[in-house]
Amino acid sequence: MSNHAEVLIIGAGIIGCATAYYLAKKGISVLVLEGSDSIGDGGSSRNGGGVRQSGRDPRELPIVMYGIRHIWPNLKDELGVDVEYYQEGNLRLGKTEAHLKILEVLTQRSVQCGLDVKMISGVEAREICPYLSDSVLGASWCPTDGHANPLLATLAFYRRARQLGARFITGEKVAEIRKLQGAARQVVTQNNVFEGDRIIVAAGMESRPILNTVGIDVPMTPLLLETLVTEAVEPMFYQMLGTAAADFYGHQSTHGSFVFGTNSGLEPYAKPGKTVSSSVSASAACRGILSYFPVLADLKIIRTWAGWIDSCADHVPVISPVEEVPGLIVACGFTGHGFGIAPPVGMLLSELATGSELTLDLSDLRYDRFKAR
Amino acid sequence: MAKDRTKEIGAFAAAPDDNLIICRCEEITKGEIRSAVHDGMFTLTEIRRYLRTGMGLCQGQTCSRLVKAIVASELGVTPSELEPAASRAPMRPIEMRILARDLGGDQHE
């Protein structure tokens, strides 16, 4: 089989899989190289599933707003897999006056970008979600936010892209990108050399050393993220939850289990290397969750997992062509909020790769925006 | 090991035992597992994420070997060629009110 494709994608996470889908749908030949043995083994399978606009930076907000308006509601039909998308709103909760101030600033910023989000009282929050503790003083409320199943959404893009002819190779670790006559052209792995007219790097944290081989650097560091899953219970509520104190976030899934992300405060000092859950985070998460939802005290935790966030210097991703290395396109540094935004990012990357007119402006997310003090 | 996902494994063919429940916690059948392989799910990790096999209360302690044998047979490889999916803490389901009491936070004894 030929080792050439019109577009070569490095990384089969949800960004790479979605991009492969949009390109394959246009009849473009695509080859996706994944270093891990499984598709979507990085952040794509290790996140809280938020499909959220509220609380986002104004530079990336228009992209996720586009996705929620035009892509997420139809994704199930488009991909032929139920990705368990719920659009039942996002409650970001506050228990102190200081929390409410944080929420007001976030809300104000999103309203200026045209997002339907507002502050509500504790009483109003309990009308939306009756299981909330009386200690909740207020919340921000964005009715068009929601959540989906990241495992299924990632694999659904992969499945459909593969059906449309995209070629995927897993366990194929990329060593370097090589230029030919000044343009990015070859991707060298342990076993092979592949060629692409365009090369898209969407490999999470691994993007950094790969980009370094052609002299490009994106300032980002790995940040541990830990999540826990409960046993399944009867449907209670489907809002996405967050807090001003950032002590937990999460939602109930179609399956009935709750998926809760945690923040123990010790994540920046996690042991480097293998992604393993720490011994302290699940307990910290339980304390956080129960202080907002005491009704869940007897619910059992059945599983925990951990992953690495590619935390970018200014907390928004790089989604950008690299003019100084013609043919190279970068999508990385999603900083822990890459899942909800992934479908429109895949669409935009397919436009960049084919030279079509961009549906949305990406100039705030360029690779060369980082300046020293 | 590098694996090309365009590998040809033939079309899915229905079998008389497709309705057999393999993962009892999540009620996943043999037919669903075989069909997932034809959807491109070639690793036990992908099968688990796609179907929820081994993600229920027993965390795969009952069915993981059965799932492995079914996937291996569908792919035409030996079961030993398939990596098991990762085991995750805790070993047994544990209530949040108990897990919360690890002396972190504001608790001092």
Give the Cα separation of A301 and A296 in Å (integer).
11
Stretch B39-66: mean pLDDT: 95
Task: Find how far residue B103's CA is from the centre of its chain.
Answer: 34
Residue ranges of domains in chain A, CATH in brackets:
4-49+151-219+314-365 (3.50.50.60), 90-143+221-312 (3.30.9.10)
pLDDT at position B107 is 56
Cβ of B101 within 8 Å of Cβ of A40? The answer is: no
Which of A47, A149, A151 has the most B C-beta neighbours within 10 Å, making it the best mutation to test the interface with B?
A151
Judged against a pLDDT cut of 70, whether residue B108 lies above it is answered with: no
Q: Which residues of B touch A229 (CB under 8 A)?
A: 55
Give the Cα separation of A93 and B56 in Å (integer).
30
Q: Which amino acid is at A25?
A: K
Task: Find how far residue B66's CA is from the centre of its chain.
Answer: 10
Whole-number percent of chain A with pLDDT over 70: 100
Stretch B89-96: mean pLDDT: 93
pLDDT tens column, A254-297: 999 999 988 788 888 888 877 778 888 899 999 999 999 999 99
Cβ of B43 within 8 Å of Cβ of A296? The answer is: no
Q: Which of A167-176, A221-230, A312-321 has the lowest mean pLDDT?
A: A221-230
pLDDT at position B20 is 98
Cβ of B89 within 8 Å of Cβ of A282? The answer is: yes
3-state SS, residue B53: coil
Cβ of A171 within 8 Å of Cβ of B101? The answer is: no
Quick count: other Cβ atoms within 10 Å of Cβ A144?
A: 18
Cβ of A170 within 8 Å of Cβ of B96? The answer is: no
Q: Which residues of B touch A154 (CB under 8 A)?
A: 49
pLDDT tens column, A17-69: 999 999 999 999 999 999 999 999 999 999 999 999 998 999 999 999 999 99
Q: Which residues of A touch B102 (CB under 8 A)?
A: 280, 283
Cβ atoms of B53 and B46 within 8 Å: the answer is no
Cβ of A151 within 8 Å of Cβ of B50? The answer is: yes
Give the Cα separation of A233 and A299 in Å (integer).
8
pLDDT tens column, A109-167: 999 989 999 999 999 999 999 999 999 999 999 999 999 999 999 999 999 999 999 99
Of A171, A189, A264, the CB nearest to B1: A171
The domain segmentation of chain B, as residue ranges, is 21-99
Strand partners, A258: A252
Instruction: Check CB contact of A254 with chain B, cutoff 8 Å.
Output: no
Give the Cα separation of A121 and A71 in Å (integer).
32
Sign of the alpha-carbon dihedral angle for A206, A211, A212, A213: positive
Give the Cα separation of A129 and B91 in Å (integer).
32
Is the domain spanning B21-99 CATH 1.10.10? The answer is: yes
pLDDT at position A273 is 76
Stretch B53-69: mean pLDDT: 93
Quick count: other Cβ atoms within 10 Å of Cβ A31?
A: 26
Which pLDDT band, with edges at 50, 70 and 90, does A373 fall under? confident
Cβ of B99 within 8 Å of Cβ of A168? The answer is: no
Token couple for B78: 């030996």
The angle formed by the CA atoms of residues A243, A249 and A253, to the nearest 5 degrees, is: 140
| Mean pLDDT value across chain A | 95
Of B4, B83, B95, the CB nearest to A37: B83
Cβ of A302 within 8 Å of Cβ of B39? The answer is: no
Chain A contacts in chain B segment 36-75 (CB below 8 A): 39-43, 45-46, 49-50, 52, 55-57, 59
Contacts of B40 (CB under 8 A, 6+ apart): A39, A158, A159, A162, A168, B5, B46
Q: Which residues of A touch B56 (CB under 8 A)?
A: 232, 302
Cβ of B99 within 8 Å of Cβ of A40? The answer is: no
Token couple for B7: 């590998």
Token couple for A157: 């893009």
Instruction: Check CB contact of B84 with chain A, cutoff 8 Å.
Output: no
Judged against a pLDDT cut of 60, whether residue B109 lies above it is answered with: no
pLDDT at position A263 is 78
pTM across the whole model:
0.96
